[in-house]
Amino acid sequence: MDRVFSGIQPTGEVHIGNYLGAIKHWVELIDQYDCIYCIVDYHAMTVPYEPGEMSRRILDAALVNIACGLDPERCTLFVQSHVPEHTELTWIFNCVTPIGDLERMTQFKEKAKQHRKHVNAGLLDYPVLQAADILLYKAHYVPVGVDQVQHVELTREIARRFNQRFAPIFPEPQVLHSPTPKILGLDGQSKMSKSLNNYIGMLEPPDVIWEKLRTAVTDVQRVRRSDPGEPTRCNIYTIHQAFSPSEVLKEIESGCRSAGLGCVDCKRLLFEHMMKELDPIRQRAESLRRDDGPVRRALIRGAERCREIAREVMKEVRSSAGLLPLDAIS
Ligand code: AMP
Ligand code: TRP
């Protein structure tokens, strides 16, 4: 079975951008591939954070992923820092990666601007750690949102460089695109993200979600209720496409174009269909919060399996790079 690897940062709330761009797709892949999913806590350390909150956030990220349908009986879920080989492989990859490649990364440039006073070496090196995550398990496919495609391309480049310089041991992994690879925020302009505060959290109470939807930007050219709108210009319609059945989408398209359906009524329909999907997820999360035993056990099992794979691959890596194995000395 081909292997899939992906990661998510424990940066607080998981929003519907993460869900539609990544997690929902990850769930769909479980039966087809050997799937390994990782809570990437070392990546989250590249921007300022509160140490006292981190371990809770890591557990919570695992909990939300499981509540969203990542069944740990059918895939592997683990925490990056539980497998030290991720950072070890990063070092080796650092030595085959030109700095210029890292300085060109869009996410680095954006985050460096956002955190002007905290541009640490880890932020620049972030994509190398990501390449190590993926290649440590020799994964073939990486399901991510569009914002991560550049990092997967760099991963392929790093695999090629290592393979050429040392030994051909790594596959060149490919991106698997989610059906909804980019979800805009409630402003209808920027990518939905935690840091821009333009998001809908997966576990937010329904009344909070409705309030956010009610005030979200729609087709900006539809100014008055009587103006006809254009669904393809409207971010609410994009979200509808992810949650609502096709009959409803048809109804909205014609209603919007003829001005028969107003934006608030359209949002009510979205809210209704969105809640059909989010209600059971919120209930599962609440039940896991009451007893997080299954989450903890999943992470322990995940770390055990990943450590075994990582140990073997690192032996191969060190040997290809010409390092001296301890057991060869005696
Ligand atoms: P992060 O929270 O940055 O670790 O992202 C986790 C996953 O969610 C990655 O695969 C991202 O590509 C995806 N993702 C994050 N924000 C969005 C968005 N607004 N639209 C689609 N996918 C997203
Ligand atoms: N950088 C990714 C993000 O922000 C998270 C990530 C870390 C990842 N390591 C990975 C994604 C490996 C896929 C594969 O979303």
**Burial track 228-251 (b if 16+ CB lie within 10 A, e otherwise):** ebebeebbbbbbbebbbeeebbee
The residue nearest atom 5 of ligand 1, judged by CA position, is 8
The CATH number of the domain covering residues in 206-287: 1.10.240.10
Let me know: does 83 contact 38? Beta carbons within 8 Å: no
CB of 183 sitting under 6 A from ligand 1: yes
- The proportion of the chain whose per-residue pLDDT surpasses 90, expressed as a percent, equals 95
The CATH number of the domain covering residues in 3-182+292-328: 3.40.50.620
Decide if pLDDT at 330 tops 90: no
Look up the pTM and report it: 0.94
By most ligand atoms within 8 Å of CB, the mutation choice from 70, 147, 155, 180 for ligand 1 is: 147
Ligand 1 atom at minimum distance from 6 CA: 10
- Residue 321 is classified by DSSP as T
pLDDT averaged over every residue in the chain: 96
The domain spans of the chain are 3-182+292-328, 206-287
Q: What is the mean predicted confidence (pLDDT) over 83-111? A: 97
pLDDT digits over 256-306, tens only?
999 999 999 999 999 999 999 999 999 999 999 999 999 999 999 999 999
Decide if pLDDT at 11 tops 90: no
Q: Predicted confidence band at 159 (pLDDT cuts at 50, 70, 90)?
A: very high
| Whole-number Å distance between alpha carbons of 120 and 136 | 24
For residue 195, the model assigns a pLDDT of: 84
CB of 21 sitting under 6 A from ligand 1: yes
The ligand minimizing its distance to the Cα of 147 is 1
Q: Predicted confidence band at 12 (pLDDT cuts at 50, 70, 90)?
A: confident
Tokens representing residue 271 in the block: 């809210």
The residue nearest atom 10 of ligand 2, judged by CA position, is 7
- The catalytic site residues sit at 111, 191, 194
CB of 123 sitting under 6 A from ligand 1: no
pLDDT digits over 202-225, tens only?
999 999 999 999 999 999 999 999
The ligand minimizing its distance to the Cα of 154 is 2
pLDDT digits over 116-147, tens only?
998 999 999 999 999 999 999 999 999 998 99
| Whole-number Å distance between alpha carbons of 61 and 39 | 7
Residue with tokens 């905290």: 118
DSSP code string of 292-315: -HHHHHHHHHHHHHHHHHHHHHHH
For residue 276, the model assigns a pLDDT of: 98
Ligand 2 atom at minimum distance from 139 CA: 14
Cα of 127 vs centre of ligand 1, distance in Å, is 15
Q: What is the mean predicted confidence (pLDDT) over 71-87? A: 98
Instruction: Give 201's strand partners.
Output: 15
The ligand minimizing its distance to the Cα of 5 is 2
Decide if pLDDT at 241 tops 90: yes
Decide if pLDDT at 181 tops 90: no
Ligand 1 atom at minimum distance from 181 CA: 21
User: Which residues line the pocket of ligand 2, CB cutoff 6 A?
Assistant: 5-7, 9, 40, 43, 130, 133-134, 142, 144, 148, 151
Residue with tokens 């576990």: 203
Q: State the angle between helix axes of 235-243 and 246-257 in degrees (0 to 180), rounded to the nearest 10.
A: 160
Q: What is the mean predicted confidence (pLDDT) over 163-178? A: 97
Q: Predicted confidence band at 4 (pLDDT cuts at 50, 70, 90)?
A: very high
Decide if pLDDT at 247 tops 90: yes
Q: Predicted confidence band at 226 (pLDDT cuts at 50, 70, 90)?
A: very high
Cα of 257 vs centre of ligand 1, distance in Å, is 31
Let me know: does 105 contact 170? Beta carbons within 8 Å: no
Q: What is the mean predicted confidence (pLDDT) over 59-76? A: 97
